[in-house]
A and B are shown apart, each in its own frame.
Chain A
Amino acid sequence: MPLNARPGALVVALGQRAAGDDGAGLAVLDELRRLALPEGTELRALAEASSLVPLLETPRPVIVVDAVVGPEPGTVRVLSPAELARGSSLAVSSHGISVGQAFAMAHILYGDALSLEIDIVGIAIAPPNRYAEGISPVVQAAVGSAVALIIGLLTGEGHGSPPSLA
């Protein structure tokens, strides 16, 4: 097993299927469920980020896949928690917390007990402005790249930028 593999990883998809492209991470999870993944890999789906916080208190590697609003919908990027937190307001709204805030919160709460390997696979989407089941064709086209990227992270093989990376 390559040294940079992530055995026993927890892969968490965030999003809502009812909010169009916000469901991009869930579409990736659907694809991953059809594949033979490295032993011990666990797949989880979450609707909102506050539930992510306690999951980050783990010795396991964690890969979070989520839709991120970006200028080039359909591109896929691997982000660090710090990168995500930089773009995130600290002001929690009355309706929940952002993924960046969830990482910042987990870092404060768990310190050394926080997973040492956290990757965020972000699929760029346009600002969601519709309530509709299903993701747009341009985001659907990026699902394969995100899956390949996650497989690469899990196995330590082929880790790198897929063709569609921004």
Chain B
Amino acid sequence: MPEQESSRTLKVDYLARVEGEGSIFMRLEGQQAREVRLQIFEPPRFFEGFLRGRAQSEAPDITARICGICPVAYQMSSSHAIERALGVTVEGALRKLRRLLYAGEYIESHALHLFMLHAPDFLGYEDALLMAKDHPGVVTRGLRMKKIGNAVVELLGGREIHPINVRLGGFYRLPARSELETLLPELEWGLEAARETVSWTAGLAYPEFEQDYEFVSLRHPDEYPVNEGRIVSNKGLDIPVEQYDEIFVEEHDEHSTALRSHIKGRGPYLTGPLARFNLNFDRLRPPARQAALSAGLEPACRNPFKSLIVRAIELVQVFDEALAIIREYQPPPVPHVDIPTRAGTGHAITEAPRGMLFHRYTVDAEGIIQDAKIVAPTSQNQRIIEEDLRLLAPQLAALDPARATWLAEQAVRNYDPCISCSCHFLKLDIERV
């Protein structure tokens, strides 16, 4: 075969519709990917260093600033980890309010990603603005859903971005039942809209692609996982969160300023909506499970592009749960449980919209943070994103440069990467030699 037919260089300088700064480099030889690098070059943000020497009570507010779209996840993981270090458990209505707050964040994050960022890939538009001209209903539905999520977070969290009403042990101020009830009409609309979104996304065309993933997520005895559970996988992993450091490894690569995770002795794994869905299908609330079945989707779904449908199913889940929590809400007697000071180490994982968010803190007897470790979902998914691109190589090699770039970007967006969280923006270079 002539050289020019077996080798090609494809270069894309900018991958839009993700958060953060980075690039992807691919070298293809024929149909094989010889090199795939998710290159993250955004400067490290040193939040773990900032936390050392600060009061334990500051951790939820400091870590919330790591991310503008998932601050609740940081607040929940930090609160749970420190509470575990102190032997504190938050139960009852306070626990449900935390799930409600998290539901608001899921609505914001999933609606923005599904409608504005990922749907254009499947409908053949470069961005949501171009898509809006032909599909105004899709965009207005997404905007209305996001607004509902904002309203939930604002009411419970005190403001839409970087909430200020979360503290160790619960909240500073509790909402009155009448305040929460103001959310009901829009949440009821949202539940129906989410069901329609599942049907709509199930009707889109998806690239043929699967791989034998190790899916990893939390699993709770009774509920779809949010704030607690054991770490499980489809390949036999079943450990308490406290053993995270024994099983998962974060390493630096030269081409990335973010840590990259893998399972010791096994390799990369996938965390996020697809993992939660596959490992917790039986924990979905009935409306969400029914929506999935109606869409023809049940475990094990190994096509990462179908994470679009899974996010819609999770929207049904969180709208339905938010409605239930508000309808059953009886204000607890106190807005927060007492928080002692004592030396200890605590671990927590909560399920952020993008996947597992691990926090570990060591605090001293005066309540000062001595050590902190944070592992964001995008750090955990970096290697599996590269693996997807490597396995997509035969398809990429068969496409013209523009289509290959489109498909590669779409594959990255399956993970809704927040590069700034793992510390990072994407630019795609594919070199074919």
A residues apposed to B, CB below 8 Å? 16, 18, 46-48, 50-51, 53-54, 90-97, 101, 104-105, 108-109, 131
Contact = CB atoms under 8 A, between A and B. Distances in A.
B18 A94 contact: yes
A83 to B, nearest CB: 17
A53 B141 CA distance: 12
Given A18-B162, A47-B150, A53-B143, A94 B416 contact: yes
Interface stretch (B131-139, B263-271, B292-300): B131-139
B376 to A, nearest CB: 13
A109 to B, nearest CB: 5
B17 interface: yes
A92 B136 contact: no
Most chain B Cβ neighbours within 10 Å, of A47, A94, A101, A109: A94
B69 A94 contact: yes
A101 B136 CA distance: 15
Contact of A47 (B117, B127, B144, B159): B159
B161 to A, nearest CB: 5
Interface in B128-155: 128-129, 132-133, 136, 139-140, 143-144, 146-147, 150, 154
A52 to B, nearest CB: 10
A101 B133 CA distance: 14
Contacts of B230: none
B112 A105 contact: no
Contacts of A91: 14, 16-17, 127
Given A16-B161, A47-B159, A53-B143, A94 B128 contact: no
Counting from the closest, the 10 A-B pairs by CB-CB distance are A91-B16, A47-B160, A94-B19, A108-B132, A95-B69, A47-B161, A95-B68, A95-B19, A109-B136, A93-B19
Contacts of B67: 95
A48 B108 CA distance: 12
A109 B132 contact: yes
Given A94-B117, A94-B416, A48 B161 contact: yes
B427 interface: no
B241 interface: no
Contacts of A51: 146-147, 150, 160
A95 B126 CA distance: 18
Given A50-B146, A96-B68, A109-B140, 10 more contacts: A16-B161, A48-B161, A50-B143, A51-B150, A90-B129, A94-B19, A94-B69, A94-B117, A94-B416, A95-B69
B273 to A, nearest CB: 14
B113 interface: yes
B418 interface: yes
B385 to A, nearest CB: 14
- Most chain A beta-carbon neighbours within 10 Å: one of B143, B161, B416: B143
Given A93-B17, A109-B139, A48 B129 contact: no
A97 B147 CA distance: 13
A84 B147 CA distance: 23
Contact of A96 (B69, B144, B418): B69
A108 B135 CA distance: 10
Interface in B12-32: 14, 16-19
25 contacts: A16-B161, A16-B162, A47-B159, A47-B160, A51-B147, A51-B150, A51-B160, A53-B143, A90-B126, A90-B129, A91-B14, A92-B129, A93-B19, A94-B18, A94-B19, A94-B113, A94-B418, A95-B19, A95-B69, A95-B420, A96-B68, A96-B69, A97-B116, A105-B139, A109-B140
A48 B112 contact: no
A66 B76 CA distance: 31
Nearest to B14: A91
B65 interface: yes
Nearest to A18: B162
A113 B74 CA distance: 40
A108 B162 contact: no
A64 to B, nearest CB: 17
A91 B413 CA distance: 13
B166 to A, nearest CB: 14
A104 B129 contact: yes
Contacts of B14: 91
A53 B18 CA distance: 21
A89 to B, nearest CB: 8
A109 B19 CA distance: 25
A95 to B, nearest CB: 5
B91 to A, nearest CB: 30
Contacts of B154: 47
Contacts of B16: 91-93
Among B14, B113, B127, B133, chain A packs the most CB atoms within 10 A around the CB of B127
A48 B162 CA distance: 12
A91 B132 CA distance: 14
Given A94-B18, A105-B128, A54 B69 contact: no
A8 to B, nearest CB: 23
Contact of A92 (B69, B116, B161): B116
A29 to B, nearest CB: 14
Contacts of A47: 150, 154, 159-161
